[in-house]
Amino acid sequence: MGGNIAGKIAGNWFHRGLQLLFMGCVTGFLAGVVVTFYNICVSLAEGFSTDLYAYVREHWFLVPVLLAALAAVALLIGVLVQLVPMVRGSGIPQTEGAARGILKYNPFVTLCSMFAASLLCVFAGMSAGGEGPSIQIGGMCGYGPSRLFSRTDMLRRYQITGGGCAGLAVAFNAPLTGMAFAFEETHKKFSPEVFICAFSSVVTGVVTRNLIRGGLGLGTGAAFSSFAFAEIAYPYAAYGYILLAAFVCALCGVIFFHTVKGLKKVMEEKVTFLSGAGRMLIPFLLAGVFGLVTVYAMGGGHALIEALGTQGGATEMSLQESFSLGLAGTLALALLFKFAASVVNMSCGVPCGVFIPMLAIGAAAGALLSLFMQEFLGMDASYSDLIVMVSLASFFTCVVRAPITGVVMVVELTWSFTPLLPVVLGVAVGYMVGQAAGTEPIYEYMLGRIVEERGVRPEHFSRSFLVRAHSIVSDMTVKDVLWPAGAAVKALSRGEESIVPGADTVLRAGDVITVDAETPDPAATERELCLLTGNPPPRKVPKNGKKRKPAAR
């Protein structure tokens, strides 16, 4: 008897696993193709805008023309954001909302709009990265095929997850970072199903990326090659510098969050001309001014981070500018501009990535701290690269609250395990400071604002469902089921026995489960729960108003 049950569980899981694996590969291939070409376009746009701003710096009479062009682009982006609200911001909160079943939208329109709008922002010279939009574009590469093949809502959400983490992995050429992001940020849990969809999508996407870039004669690496670390154990004194840098950068992360939160409220309440589209003038004109002052205020921040590397011991960093402020002054200016531009972009909802700009803020703060500690605390200059990476990870973790992603990302981007322990310490400090300060994870906050702006009003939902043999949830644990957004199993009856369901409770055929939820669409939630438990979809309520029978009957 036990062998039959085990065989059924294994058979059901194997069938689901194969389905997830196949759809993950399809999603990963599409994400690999689209996101690779998107990032190639982003690189070309960054190069063009850098050359354009350099030309305008040499011909100052063209500054009014540049600002007028930026104003026109700002209004165009403002109108587009009004027409397609799901491209507002970096795209990461929207992807997370779709993967959790909170948000639904047209994948093709969203993909094309984010592709064009974010690329135009980079072309205009804004502090805009391609990683956030890559996540949304990848997620839409999973959303579209799931609708085409009429997949269940659960499988669709897995495909969005797989596409999103493949988009990040392709943008960074960092597969482990993409997978960690799926577990830690998108679903905030580990399950075999999430692993399969993330693994298959990421591997297929990265392989596709490298084949395309190799075929076009482009490099396939994405690491910061200017960073090098001593291959020896760091002395105890070094950890004092590491903890100090991590703490200061975590405090910068707290300031960053509250600045975004406060400014966003001001922008939404005070800057409302042209139905809100006019607020885009502020970040675009600001970007024009910053870009004319320093090239390091433009683009995502790859060039800035790379310029902060010392190759593991040089006393002078490679950051250079056309004006004389000294190294510390140039660093402070780049940090100030990057911080201000990123805050304004997020507050105004500019459709551009802030993932890499946030890393650049942390890295620039770390480089400035490194100079300070060398000058006043006697720190060895060979620790500079380590301090920069620790600061980057600490700032990112404090703001995003994804510690594992922060650690894995540094290892993959530097191609070195040497800084692993110091980075883990920095990430721990960043996480604890964020928790102690009571800040929300930035993408969770942004998702909440999007849901609020869309006027979503959740209603209480409670139904009982019979778990039928060979249904999706049959022989699965409660924690491994991707339930509809806001749904939870509150009670379980197995024959005459009443069971208090826990995360590890295995659902069996014949069980009757009671599911409670706070959902904006009770009918859609009930349909999805019927599909999960193997029950026929609910019938529409007759015009005479008689209620349908519960699914459990």
166 is a domain residue: yes
Half-sphere exposure of 35 (CA within 13 A, CB side): 39
* Same-domain pairing of 252 and 165: no
Predicted pLDDT of residue 274: 78
CA separation, residue 80 to residues 135, 280, 290 (Å): 20, 11, 24
Place of tokens 């905030």: 188
Measured from the Cβ of residue 87, the count of other Cβ atoms closer than 10 Å reads 29
Q: The domain spanning residue 510 has which CATH number?
A: 3.30.70.1450
Q: Is 47 exposed, middle or buried (0-12, 13-18, 19+ CB in 10 A)?
A: exposed
Mean pLDDT (whole number) for 220-237: 73
131 is a domain residue: yes
* Same-domain pairing of 71 and 124: yes
Q: How far is it, in rounded angstroms, from Cα 511 to Cα 497? A: 10
H helix or E strand, kind and range, residue 99: helix 92-99
543 is a domain residue: no
* Same-domain pairing of 445 and 296: yes
Report pLDDT digits (tens) over 371-392. Answer: 999 999 999 888 899 999 999 9
Q: Among 416, 450, 484, identify where a domain stops.
A: 450
Q: The domain spanning residue 402 has which CATH number?
A: 1.10.3080.10
Which residues are CB-contacts of 269 (< 8 A; sequence separation ≥ 6)?
Answer: none
In degrees and rounded to multiples of 5, residue 512 shows phi and psi of -115, 115
**Is residue 156's pLDDT more than 50?**
yes
Q: How far is it, in rounded angstroms, from Cα 236 to Cα 383? A: 13
Which residues are CB-contacts of 300 (< 8 A; sequence separation ≥ 6)?
Answer: 42, 46, 122, 127, 128, 129, 130, 131, 353, 355, 356, 357, 360
* Same-domain pairing of 264 and 325: yes
- The full 3-state SS of 134-202, as one line of letters, equals HHHHHHHHHHHHHHHCCCCHHHHHHHHHHHHHHHHHHHHCCHHHHHHHHHHHHCCCCCHHHHHHHHHHH
266 is a domain residue: yes
**Is residue 181's pLDDT more than 60?**
yes
* Same-domain pairing of 200 and 63: yes
Percent residues over pLDDT 90 in the chain: 54
Predicted pLDDT of residue 5: 44
Mean pLDDT (whole number) for 228-237: 72
* Same-domain pairing of 423 and 476: no
Look up residue 248 and give its amino acid. V
The DSSP output letter for 89 is S
Phi-psi region of 546 (alpha: psi -120 to 50; beta: other; left: phi over 0): beta
Q: Among 182, 215, 248, identify where a domain stops.
A: 215
Contact, 190 vs 379, CB < 8 A? no
Among candidate residues 411, 379, 378, the one with its CA nearest the CA of residue 392: 411
Predicted pLDDT of residue 552: 47
* Same-domain pairing of 428 and 392: yes
* Same-domain pairing of 131 and 165: yes
Report pLDDT digits (tens) over 321-337. Answer: 545 677 888 889 999 99
**Alpha-carbon dihedral sign for residues 233, 239, 241, 243:** positive
* Same-domain pairing of 337 and 464: no
Domain range holding 61?
A: 19-215
* Same-domain pairing of 40 and 107: yes
Among candidate residues 398, 399, 407, the one with its CA nearest the CA of residue 429: 398
pTM of this structure: 0.89
User: How many domains does the chain contain in total?
Assistant: 3
Average pLDDT of the chain to the nearest whole number = 87
Report pLDDT digits (tens) over 1-20. Answer: 444 444 444 445 556 678 88
Q: Band of the pLDDT at 67, cuts 50, 70, 90?
A: very high
Predicted pLDDT of residue 550: 47
Contact, 75 vs 281, CB < 8 A? yes
Contact, 525 vs 488, CB < 8 A? no
Q: What is the dihedral of CA 91, 96, 99, 105, to 10 degrees?
A: -40
Residues forming beta bridges with residue 512, ordered by sequence position: 466, 493
Which residues are CB-contacts of 481 (< 8 A; sequence separation ≥ 6)?
Answer: 154, 472, 473, 507, 532
**Is residue 541's pLDDT more than 90?**
no
**Is residue 34's pLDDT more than 80?**
yes
Q: How far is it, in rounded angstroms, from Cα 267 to Cα 531? A: 43
Q: How far is it, in rounded angstroms, from Cα 136 to Cα 344? A: 21
* Same-domain pairing of 175 and 242: no
61 is a domain residue: yes
309 is a domain residue: yes
65 is a domain residue: yes
Q: How far is it, in rounded angstroms, from Cα 186 to Cα 320? A: 38
Please state the separation of Cα 134 from the chain's center in Å. 9
CA separation, residue 70 to residues 121, 124, 329, 472 (Å): 10, 7, 28, 52
429 is a domain residue: yes
* Same-domain pairing of 485 and 442: no
Predicted pLDDT of residue 123: 94
Predicted pLDDT of residue 222: 58
Q: Among 450, 468, 501, identify where a domain stops.
A: 450
Better-predicted residue by pLDDT, 56 or 231: 56
CA separation, residue 174 to residues 9, 332, 412, 415 (Å): 34, 29, 6, 10
**Alpha-carbon dihedral sign for residues 117, 75, 63, 90:** negative
